[in-house]
Structure 1
Amino acid sequence: MRKLVNECKERVKSIVPRSVLLPSSSRKASSSSLDYDMSYSVPTSSEVESKKRKGMGSALERAFHNNAREQCDGEIARMFYTGGLAFNLARNPHYRNSYVHASTISGYIPPGYNALRTTLLQKERKNIELHMQPLKDTWKTKGVSICSDGWSDPQRRPIFNMIAANESGPMMLRAINSQGEVKTGEKVAELIIESIKAVGHENVIQIVTDNASNCVRAGALISEKYPSIFWTTCVVHTLNLAVKNICAPSLQTRNNDDVYAACSWIGPLSNDVSYVRNFIMNHSMRLVMFTEHCGLKLLTIASTRFASTLVMFRRFRKIKSGLQQMVINHK
């Protein structure tokens, strides 16, 4: 039994995270930047007090607390590294302001996990709702349009968003995770009707969605339930479909010989452009030669956005003109 208990204690001790010492400011200047003083240990309160009484260090170090500043910088940097935080977070004004305010409060301890996800989150939500109330008040006088679209988050989860917008500005109503659900017209209509009830059907003028078949069905169901609310198609999606018929003419447009003859050359050209781009990007030597003689970057054609094909054509035209001018200047 004692052996089992000791083995259990050893296993528990082995899985406990080990603290890695921070870089020390006391290492020699000639040492490598990756050399760390492993003899550093966190001083106790009695040691700190004894050092203060003895007056160790120069007057400049005591005035600016250089050692303490370096240790604090090391802790903050390690928080970024171990937590996988983006360095761009350091540009957030709240990041610097939080430390400035914390430095003026003696004995301040930052909030923990539970406080951040419960009480502080609720307070911030109430504060945002208070600031958004003037925008909500304009819905009764100016009306509002509810815009809905689907997108995917970094985890590839399908998100269905609801945005209320008028001339005073847009406001996010909901972001619904629709993973595992079939997006039928009835389901889309149900989600939009919930947002209509939250805003007030008397304040809603129109619903704006894309031109997918389930959204068309949802618009018909909403107009049937609320005759005063109109369903409007998304102009951007309509233009994208128009560009699709131009850049990728299908059998429906092929029935019209004049239209197909005018647009049929765009498809093969798009394939050639994609082939040239992939050939350069997939071969390191060709890519080095390209970047050395051309300052523009090659763009990628998105598979579901046909407007990007036209953007790609324009970029290749600029690259070709730039290279031709460079050859002329060289001659």
Structure 2
Amino acid sequence: MNIESEKSTETVAPRWKYVTKLEKVAAGGGNVTFKFNYYEKTFKGSYSRVKAHLLKLSNGGIQPCGKVGDEYLNEMQKLEDAYEESSHRLKKPKLVFLPSDSPSSPHLGPTLNSLIARTFYSVGLPFHFAKNPYGIEMIKFACNNNLAGYIPPGYNKLRTTLLHIEKLLKSIKDTWKGRGLSIISDGWTDPQKRPLINFMATSEKGPLFIKSIDGTKEYKDKHFIFDLFLKVIGEVGHTHVVQVITNNASVMKVAGSIVEAEYPHIFWSSCVVHTLNLALKNICAPKNSLQNEVAYNECN
């Protein structure tokens, strides 16, 4: 089936071209059975799952795609932003009647006060937002400038590129060139029971979160862990990395030794907190309790 031939708004969304639709799921709304063009495994769901997979969104109910490299992720995000904005222009808003703040004039249409009030009422904005200086500045700027053809930023742009996270983190990253950084890896299980592997960079200016990898259905051997470290080191720049820090698991030790062989100036370190946890757990084990009590009394 040719996905691009579909006429619905969802079907012409940019991510569908990477998918082959197999069948419609009965009574499933927009849900279909589909497979990605580079995977044999099939999935069920709507466009939101396709988007979550390809854009590596962690809350989409599907594993992020491991074949989409960082060099393509920004380009795909721009396509999605453009689609979201065009969809927003075509979508008819829910009808909310305008409040009347002055005698109506048919040729003038709704007044600005009425449009602002409808914005508040339609989405339940708290009334104290009317005191927000940034909101007041925004409206004044729009009224005092010719903005013909201007389209407000869409959902994805507001939550991604317009956040200017990189500018906020620049003061931290600028210290990496002169002082170096350490890469720290930590594993944990989220509320959905997914095994996640976190990567952070820490330097004299403080810690910085880099990424989180979903390890579901992955065989976490030394090659898998090393490959993850290699990608993270490449993202921050291998010349800036001083060491990688992990727990004391054997697979982490071996992966760390491979990192040291690949980059002789980078060395692996075990986590001191994890080492102490293991030591205290062993000391407090029931089989050692009597012996430890005697030793404690002697030391006391």
More helix by share: 1
Q: What TM-score, normalized to structure 2?
A: 0.50
Larger radius of gyration: 1
Higher normalized strand content (fraction of residues): 2
